[in-house]
Structure 1
Amino acid sequence: MGEITALLHRARDGERAALDALFERLYPELRRLARARLAGSRRGPEMGTTVLVHECYLKLVATGELAAGERAHFMAYAAHVMRSVIVDAVRAAQRERRGGDAVHVTLDTALHDSVPAPEHEILDVDAALAELARLDPRLVQVVEMRYFGGLKETEIAAALGVTERTVRRDWDKARLLLASALRG
C-alpha cells in the first residue's frame, strides 16, 4: 500500500492528522486542479486557486466524507468538491448581488437582462449535470473530473475502474447531452 493510499485509509477512519498530511502531500496537485479549473475563467466567481483548494479542504473536514481508495479516487472526489465550492460561491454572489433579504424593486433592465450573466453559465451547467446524473451518474463523474478537476483520461479511467476508451466515449456522450440540455 502506497503512502497516499495509507493516508486515505487513516483519514477515512477519522484521523485528522492523516487528512492534514494527505492535503500537504497532494497540495501541489490540488493547486494544479484548481488552477486548471479557474484559468482564464471570466465565467466563474472571483476566487483564486489557493482559496479554492482551501475551501475544498474545509468542506472535506466539515463533512467528514472521504472515500478510501487511491490517489486517483481522491483527486476525483476533490474535483467533485471543487465543483460544489464553485457553484456555492456563484449562488452566494448572486444572492448578494440581488440584495440578500432586501426588498426588491423592479426597474427597466431590458438591456441588462438581454445579456446573460457569466455566473448563470456555471449554474446552468450545474443544473444540466443534475439532470444528467438521473440518466447516467458515471457521465457526471467524468465531466466533474475532466471539466472541474482537469484530470486526464488515464487518471479518470483509473479512478472509475474503466478503460480510457470508455472515458472518451463517456466524455463525448456527456458533451452531447449537456450541449442539448444547455440549448433547451
Structure 2
Amino acid sequence: MLRYSADAALEPRGFTRLLDASRCGDEEAWSQLVRQVYGDLVRLAHRQRSEYAVPATLGTTGLVHECYLRIAGGARERIENRRHFFSLASRVMRQVLCDYARTSLRVKRGGLQQREDLDAWDAEARSEAEDLVYIDELLTQLEAQNEAWARVVECRYFAGLGDEETAETLGIALRTAQRHWSDARAWLAERMR
C-alpha cells in the first residue's frame, strides 16, 4: 500500500507551500519536496517493476530518476497539489515502462528479422512487454473517450493502488473510483477479446 510520509511538509498545505516556493525560483524548496517524496516514488516504482517483466537494465532507481527528470523538466510547473503529483508520477512511470517495452521489442539491426537471444529476455518477458504496449495503446484510446476512467486505470493497473488509494490520489469519492474502475475494466475487456 502506497503511504504518504507523515512529515508535516507533506501535508497538503506543506506540500503546496514547498511547491509554490519552488515555482518562485526556490530550488531548495523543490529539492526538499523531492527528498520527502522520494521514498514513496521508490515504493511506487518497485511495485510497477515487480508487476511487469522489465529487464534488469531498468531498475527501480532508474525508473524513479527517469520519472523525476520528466516531471522536473516541465511538468513541475503544472503540478497543483500532492494528489496531482502522485497521479502525475503514476502516469509518467506508465509512460517510461511502456516506452521501455517498445524499445525492448524493437529488433536492433536487421529490420523485422527475429534474433535468437539467450539472455534473460525470454519469450514470456517479450509477451508481457507486448501486452503492456497493447494495454497502453488501449488506454490512450480510453483517455480520448473518458479521461477519468483512464486515470483510475493508471492508478490501479500501473501503480498498483487499491480503491482507497486511487480515490485519495485522484481526489474523488471512493464509490466513484470503484465505479470508474469497474466501467473501465469492462471497456478494456470488450476491446481485448
The 1:66–1:38 alpha-carbon spacing in structure 2 relative to 1, beyond 3 Å, is: farther
Q: How does 1:7-86 map to 2 (within 5 A)?
A: 7-13=18-24, 15-42=26-53, 44-46=54-56, 47-86=58-97
Distance in 1 (alpha carbons) for counterparts of 2:51 and 2:154: 18
| Farther off after superposition, 7-16 or 169-178 | 7-16
In structure 2, do the counterparts of structure 1 residues 53 and 106 end up closer, same or farther at CA, with 3 Å as the change threshold?
Answer: closer
Partner of 1:104: 111
Q: Percent identity?
A: 34
Which residue of the partner structure matches residue 140 of structure 1?
150
Distance 1:12 1:175 in 2: 38
TM-score (norm 1): 0.81
Using the TM superposition, give the Cα deviation of residue 153 of structure 1 relative to its aligned residue in structure 2, in angstroms: 2.6
| Cα offset, 1:146, TM superposition | 1.9
Per-residue deviation at 1:37?
A: 1.1
Cα root mean square deviation, aligned = 2.6
The change in CA–CA distance for 1:106 and 1:147 in structure 2 (over 3 A counts) is: closer
What is the TM-score when the length of structure 2 is the normalising length?
A: 0.77
SS of residue paired to 2:73? helix
Residues in 2 aligned to 1:136 and 1:48: alpha-carbon distance in whole angstroms:
32
Check the 8 A contact 1:45/1:89 in 2, yes or no: no
Q: Does 1:175 align with 2:185?
A: yes
Cα–Cα, structure 1 residues 164 and 117, in superposed 2: closer, same or farther, change >3 Å?
Answer: same
Partner of 2:175: 165
Residues 72 and 159 of structure 1 are in contact (CA less than 8 Å); yes or no, is this contact kept in structure 2?
Answer: yes
Give the residue type in structure 1 aligned to 2:36: R
- Structure 2's unaligned 5+ residue stretches are 1-11, 117-122
Distance of 1:13 and 1:156 partners within structure 2: 30
Count of aligned positions: 174
Determine whether 1:121 maps to 2:131: yes
* Correspondence for 1:154: 164
Q: Cα offset for 1:91?
A: 1.7
Once the two structures are superposed, what CA deviation does each residue of 1:121-178 show, in whole Å capped at 9, x if it has no partner? 1100100001111210011101112222233333332343321000001011111111
What are the Cα deviations for residues 89-129 of structure 1, in whole angstroms up to 9, with x where unaligned? 1122223xx11xx343657x9xxxx9872211110010000
Q: Structure 2 vs 1, CA of residues 18 and 153 (structure 1 numbering), >3 Å: closer, same or farther?
A: farther
C-alpha change, 1:169 and 1:89, in structure 2 (3 Å) is same
Q: Pick from 13, 17, 21: which aligns with 1:6?
A: 17
**Which runs of no fewer than 5 residues in structure 1 stay unpaired?**
none
> 1:179: Cα distance to partner?
1.8
